[in-house]
Chains A and B, each alone.
Chain A
Amino acid sequence: GAGVSQSPSNKVTEKGKDVELRCDPISGHTALYWYRQSLGQGLEFLIYFQGNSAPDKSGLPSDRFSAERTGGSVSTLTIQRTQQEDSAVYLCASSLTSGGHNEQFFGPGTRLTVL
């Protein structure tokens, strides 16, 4: 079956503009995660959804970052007034449930470049 998909694969934007990143999880997966991968860094947790609710938003780096999930499926991560330090690869993952024993399946990521 289809894996996790993300769009766009690459996004170049100017400082100060807003961007939206999209994630389509695997069908039937109730848990969805957003991570940020900066050059030379590990994966930084941003936010987690169980269904449509986000019990944990602790990783969002500032109030310029927000995310939503509708219909228990597609999720969008929005970055307002982008800054150069927002440049990174944004990864989405989904898992069957939020239990820690469940493997997270990752999408290919969106590479964001802020000029």
Chain B
Amino acid sequence: DIVLTQSPATLALSPGERATLSCRASQSISTYIAWYQQKPGQAPRLLIYDASNRAAGIPARFSGSGSGTDFTLTISSLEPEDFAVYYCQQRYSWPPNTFGGGTKVEIK
């Protein structure tokens, strides 16, 4: 199974700062990765698919990049509503369709 490792586990930043979240795959997965945001008590929300495509209604401050084994989700300027947990998901090989362990972006 493909393992996704997200880092850091927790990222403490202030509103307005830039957030850079990493997801590393245990083998090459081309661009076949999606990113999700989950706020406490809520369902996840799709942000990015195919490494760099923003889902419908997602603000332009969210961007994704990478290919092969290393991927990045960038939030250019954190808004108060962006403090949440972020998960990556590989779509290259399944079953299983694995998720990373998550990165929590918290207010500094």
Say whether A and B bind each other: no
